[in-house]
Structures are given as C-alpha cells and as structure tokens.
Amino acid sequence: MSSDGGRPLPRRPLPFAPDALEAHGGHLLGPAEVTEVAHQTAAILVGTGRAAHDPDVTSRLVTLVDDLGLSTVADLWSARPARSLPGALWRLYALREWVRRSPVQATREYAAGIRFTDVAHAVAGIAEPPRPEEMQRVADQILAGIFEGDLAVALERASAFCAVVSAGRAELANDRDGVDPGGASGLTRTAAAMLTTGEDLRACAHLWRAGELD
C-alpha cells in the first residue's frame, strides 16, 4: 500500500464513475451497507485522484457534481458524520455548488466578513476585492486540493473560507435587523451553520494529519 504524506491510499484505486454510486444487486441496502458504501466510495474517490497525478482526472473529480447532480452526492454522503471523509467531501462539494450557483451572493457575504477575519481571509487565499469569478476559481481550487497537493491544507482553506462567509453573514444580519428582522434571523442561523461547517472541516484536517480521517 502506497502512502501520501503519511496517509495510506487504497490498494488498487479504481476509476470513479457514476455506476459506482448504483445500488448493489438491485436490492435495497441496509444501514450498515449504506455506511460501508459511503466510506468506500469516498476513499476510492480520494485515492484515485491522489494516485493519478493527472490534471484531467482532478478536473473531472472537481466537477463531479456537475455530472451527477448534488442530490446524488447528498444521497451518498450527506448522512455521514461531519468529521469523516465522506462527510468532509459532501461539505466541500456542497460549498462549491453554492458558490457556482450563487457567486454574487457568495461574494457579497465573503466581502462583508473580511475585516473581521484577517487570518482566515489570508488562509482562504482569495484576492481583494473578491469578485464572483475569483470566488468560483478558489472554490474549484480548494476542492482540487483534496486530490492533489496537501489534503489537510485544502480542508483548512475551506474552513477559513467558511469562517469569513460566516462573519459576513453575521455582519449583514446586523445591518438588516432594523428593517427586516426575519431576514436578519435567517442570516444569523445560516452564519452559525457555516461557522460549524468550518469548524468541522478544520477538525477533519487534524484527523487527516493524524491518519484518522476515514
């Protein structure tokens, strides 16, 4: 078994294709089987990408949701613990899809949070002033880092990105509170959720470095 930065990779990484997501044998999977499939596919996906050392493979993995649809990836991984490999992958793909679909909103929220999160902004690595195309580029770049380079650093960048967006949502909620309390409350809730996502991704980075992210 080869290793990458101290992390073991799957013995024989297999090409990851849509049929890898199909149910086994035409029967409904039980809870234990669903869990096994989620963790196996996550390991295969990451192992394949990191073993390939091929920009084309990385590009196809980054755009996986474009081909399969976010709901397919959600069915596969979203129920797994946040601090697990499939849980981390689900959050990264969902984050990229949000930025891809709502780049102007993502830019506005990120920009609003920069002055409160200097360190996180630097770690996220987004140029100033943030622009929609830059936000989309960095979201792709962060996800690509899962399949090439230092995976833990990619998770930390994603965590930092979430921290800035969370701060931005909280600031926008504060600005809106006097004129739209309901909208402000919604922003506050999503700010808290984004902050939790960032904390989980940072914890996953620590688990990866310890060889315990499965």
Six-digit token pair at 21? 């997501």
Cis peptide bond upstream of 86, omega within 30: no
Residue-level pLDDT at 22 = 44
3 backbone dihedrals φ, ψ, rounded to 5°: -135, 160
Q: What angle do CA 157, 65, 73 make, to 5 degrees?
A: 90
Q: What is the pLDDT of residue 87?
A: 98
> pLDDT per position in the chain (214 positions), as tens?
334 444 443 333 333 333 443 443 445 567 788 899 999 999 999 999 999 999 999 999 999 999 999 999 999 999 999 999 999 999 999 999 999 999 999 999 999 999 999 999 999 999 999 999 999 999 999 999 999 989 999 999 999 999 999 999 999 999 998 889 999 999 999 999 999 999 999 999 999 999 999 9
| pLDDT score for 11 | 33
Cα–Cα distance for residue pair 52/152, rounded to 1 Å: 18
Q: Which residue blocks in the chain are alpha helix, DSSP H?
A: 31-52, 55-62, 64-68, 70-77, 85-101, 103-113, 118-124, 132-144, 151-176, 181-209
Instruction: Give the integer Cα–Cα distance in Å for 127 and 145.
Output: 18
What one-character-per-residue DSSP string does 71-93 give? HHHHHHHTTS-TTSHHHHHHHHH
CA angle, 183 then 184 then 187, to 5°: 90
What integer pLDDT is reported at residue 29 of this predicted model?
A: 62
Q: Are 32 and 177 in contact (CB under 8 A)?
A: no
Q: Closest Cα to residue 176, out of 164, 167, 186, 166?
A: 186
Q: Reduced to 3 states, what is the DSSP secondary structure of residue 16? A: coil
Structure tokens at 132: 């929609």
pLDDT digits (tens, 9 = 90+) for 186-200: 999 999 999 999 999
By the 8 A CB rule, do 94 and 76 touch?
no
